[in-house]
Structure 1
Amino acid sequence: MSTQAVLDKNIKKSSDTKLESLSRNIKKQRIVRNIICIFLCIMSLLPFYIMIINSTRPSAAIQQGLSLIPSNQFLSNVRKLIVKSAGVGTPLYKAMFNSLFISVPATFFAVYFSSMTAYGIYVYHFKLRKVAWSFILGIMMIPMQVSIIGFYKFMIQLGMNDSYIPLIIPAIAAPSTVFFMRQYMKTALPLEIVDAARIDGSGEFNTFNTVVMPLMKPAIATQAIFAFIASWNNLYTPSIILSSSTKYTLPMFVQVLRSEQFRSDYGVIYAGLLLTVLPLFVVYFALSKYIIAGVALGGVKE
């Protein structure tokens, strides 16, 4: 065997060894990543699973300790919750309806008008464009707690205290949603499409509603989930604005579960908490397909 052949054989052997070593390292890294992801997934889902299990257990069993096996007391806990809530002033179904009555239009206003605002800042070139964008970013840094006193006084002057209007209409101003939408438009909305629609004679509102909004479905679905969850779980503002017990939202209703009437019945409390988060799961699973479709579309985009 010639020297060149021996050299080529050694090089090939060394290359195969390196490839095998690299393949083993990739497999090890993949296993470690999978283990970490599975662990984090379990840690994220465990509180929800415990809540579901405890909603099916009697109060005495919950006080004895943790269990991962469901019981058969869920319907009994729900019946107790309905009976006891009748004396609070807001039945359970009424509190859920109140939350839906606020969350659905608030989510629509937040997503639609925020998308429109982001579209205007991204597409149109006007003198105060940068100032407007800086103002929106600055508003994101101001928490609601800072302005709540002035907001409440303003609602009293308008005669809108103890009303759902202050909980729905202000959702139009959602700076974080505007920020997300504009950043998404920069990657998913070519200006050539807007120009082509204008050349075809489409009006600005028609272009936005029929051309831009369908392209924004993944971003809209994402922000709709966040907006609905924020509105559904909002306890701070409704507690200040609403004073009539018949107008209580579901988070306000759950807060009543901490009173002496419910405090000792943990099964009823967990059943109420489960009924509180169920609509959030429904909204997420209804909109998650658009998010997955958007991720898949972005993965194949050149």
Structure 2
Amino acid sequence: FSMCTDWGLRDTYIPLIVPAIAAPAVFFFMIQYMKSSLPIDIIEAARIDGSGEFRTFNTIVLPMLKPALAVQAIFSFVASWNNYFLPALIIDTSTKKTMPIMIAQLRSADFLKFDMGQVYMFIFIAIIPVIIVYFCLSKFIIAGVSLGGVKE
């Protein structure tokens, strides 16, 4: 919070997005996935054939990492989308409030007589982007599972 204030990032979406991309769990998962499913022999063969590091990464490694990238994109998106604590601290403008904050404000507007129908409808609307992201990225996960099931 103090870093965001010092860097002038309060009331912006940047501190909500960047930490989710560079989370330690993402790096740990990607390294473990590379160790388990990325054969070093393929990379060495590309080096022997004269491929540079950048081309090897883009044409060989990156397509093999698509399932892991899709999983991490889904997890990071859902975690950022459902985050309540950090946006409640950083976002001050009412037009920039995130969905969890809006749902909490709608529910606690009048504790004795709030309309649960509005709350449930807002929750339904909040779930739609998560479902869309999952359906868009699930084809990469399925392709990775089917690719991993092929034995030599």
Q: Tell me, yes or no, whether TM beats 0.5.
A: yes
Which residue of structure 2 lines up, in the alignment, with residue 55 of structure 1? none
Which residue of structure 1 lines up, in the alignment, with residue 58 of structure 2? 209
Please say if 1:270 is aligned against 2:92: no
Please, what is the CA RMSD of the aligned residues? 1.9
Please say if 1:232 is aligned against 2:81: yes
| 1:174-201 residue CA offsets vs partner (Å, 9 max, x unmatched) | 1111111111112221112222333344
* AA aligned opposite 1:278: I
* AA aligned opposite 1:269: V
Structure 2: tracts of 5 or more residues without a match = none
Contact 2:21/2:76 (<8 A) preserved: no
Q: SS where residue 126 of structure 2 aligns?
A: helix
Which residue of structure 1 lines up, in the alignment, with residue 104 of structure 2? 255
Which residue of structure 2 lines up, in the alignment, with residue 288 of structure 1? 138
Quote the offset at 1:172 in angstroms.
Answer: 3.7
For 1:1-302, what aligned pairs fall within 5 Å after superposition? 152-261=1-110, 264-302=114-152
| 1:26-56 residue CA offsets vs partner (Å, 9 max, x unmatched) | xxxxxxxxxxxxxxxxxxxxxxxxxxxxxxx
Structure 1: tracts of 5 or more residues without a match = 1-151
Quote the offset at 1:278 in angstroms.
Answer: 1.1
Percent identity at matched positions? 56
Superposed structure 1 runs of 4+ greater than 4 Å apart: none
**C-alpha distance in structure 2 between counterparts of 1:173 and 1:188, whole Å:** 22
- Tell me the TM-score normalised to structure 1 length: 0.46
Cα distance, 1:209–1:261 mapped onto 2, change above 3 Å:
farther
**Higher gyration radius (CA):** 1
Quote the offset at 1:211 in angstroms.
Answer: 1.7
**C-alpha distance in structure 2 between counterparts of 1:259 and 1:288, whole Å:** 36
Q: SS where residue 107 of structure 2 aligns?
A: coil
